[in-house]
Every structure is written in structure tokens, then in C-alpha cells.
Amino acid sequence: MKFFVDTADTDAIAELNDLGMVDGVTTNPSLIFKSGRDIKEVTKQICDMVSGPVSAETVALDADGMIAEGRELAKIADNITIKVPLTWAGLKACKVLSGEGRMVNVTLCFSANQALLAAKAGATFISPFIGRLDDLNLDGMDLIEEIRTIYDNYDFETEILAASIRSVNHMKEAALIGADVATAPPNVIKAMANHALTDKGLDAFLKDWEKTGQKIL
């Protein structure tokens, strides 16, 4: 499973990228707002840092506006993925932009039917939002599983990009189901390394080592 980092924090991206944990980056207007920086400036910096896809989101509500904004965003770098919402207008924009050979991430997906439409429209990525479904007492992972089954049934090339990830369990479950990509905040990716038994075992090893009175260096 590929890891995308869901942030516009370039320092956090750089840290994970140095460890080989970044296959791509996703941004959205809220993340750009948190960064306090110009969208084109910060997006260009991110594109220069990573070789994989970098999602930059359109904000127009009509298809023509999304297409125009998408073409403008695509000028930033070759690895830009244009992000459009899963609306009828967004599907129209996806069809045009993907037809021009551009990567398109169709976002805000909450049903398998929506994901099916996105694949038919030529989406490069479909972004089902796990956490937001969980907020409604629905199991977001059920949606990932449904989309996986449908896409496998018909050999769709659209990649499932599990989004709105809130926990390390979301990451594990997405991987078990077979999501192609998971996009998560830096803190969730880093938390995957944590385990209480690892800490306990390390503490025991260090106490025993101290008793030997030895040094490695």
C-alpha cells in the first residue's frame, strides 16, 4: 500500500520523505489555510520535494470552472494531481481532464455507486472518506471493501485512496482490505511505529545492558 501524506506542512513531509515513507501528498483548501501560505507557492515546494503525485484541489462548483482551475494547477508541476469533488460537475471535469492525460483525484466519496461513476469517468484516484462515515456511526471500511470488490470485478484502473484517516487502525484495516493508497496526517503515520510492548522490551534490554557495565562506543 502506498502512503500519501495529508498535509501542507513541508517540514513534516520532508521528515517522512527522508525515511522513504512518502509516495505522494494530498492537500485541500483547509490544509492550505492552516499552512498560511500561497497555494501555488506551497504546492510547488511540495512537488519539488516528492516524486509522486501531489493532489491540489479546485474550488469552483461548476465543471467549466473546475476544468479551468485544474489546468492552471497542472502548470505548477508534472506530478500535480487535480482534485475535484464527487459531484456531477466534478465527474464532467474529471472526464475532460483525464482525457487530456492529467491525473485526477475524485474526492469526497461516500458511496460505492459514486466510486463506480468516478472510475467510469476516468479518475486516477478515488478518495472515500473513512473517518467522516465513522462519525455518522457507519463503518467507513465497509465502503473501502465494497469499492475494492467492484473495481476488481471489472478491472478498473482507478486506485482506491483511503482518506479521512484518523488512526493507526484505519491504516491497518485499509491495508488488509487492499486499498491501493492511504493518505494520512503525519502524526498517524509516525504513530504506526508505537507499541507499548516495544517500549517495555526496550526498557528491559537497556536495564540489563547497564548492569553489564559494557559500552559499544
User: Mind telling me the catalytic residues?
Assistant: 83
- Site of grid cell 462515515: 133
DSSP string of the chain, one letter each residue: -EEEEE---HHHHHHHHHTT--SEEE--HHHHHHHTS-HHHHHHHHHHH-SS-EEEE---SSHHHHHHHHHHHHTS-TTEEEEEESSHHHHHHHHHHHHTT-EEEEEEE-SHHHHHHHHHTT-SEEEEBHHHHHTTT--HHHHHHHHHHHHHHHT--PEEEEBS--SHHHHHHHHHHT-SEEEE-HHHHHHTT--HHHHHHHHHHHHHHHHHT----
Between CA 27 and CA 12 the distance in angstroms is 13
Give every CB contact of residue 178 below 8 A, 6+ residues apart in sequence.
148, 160
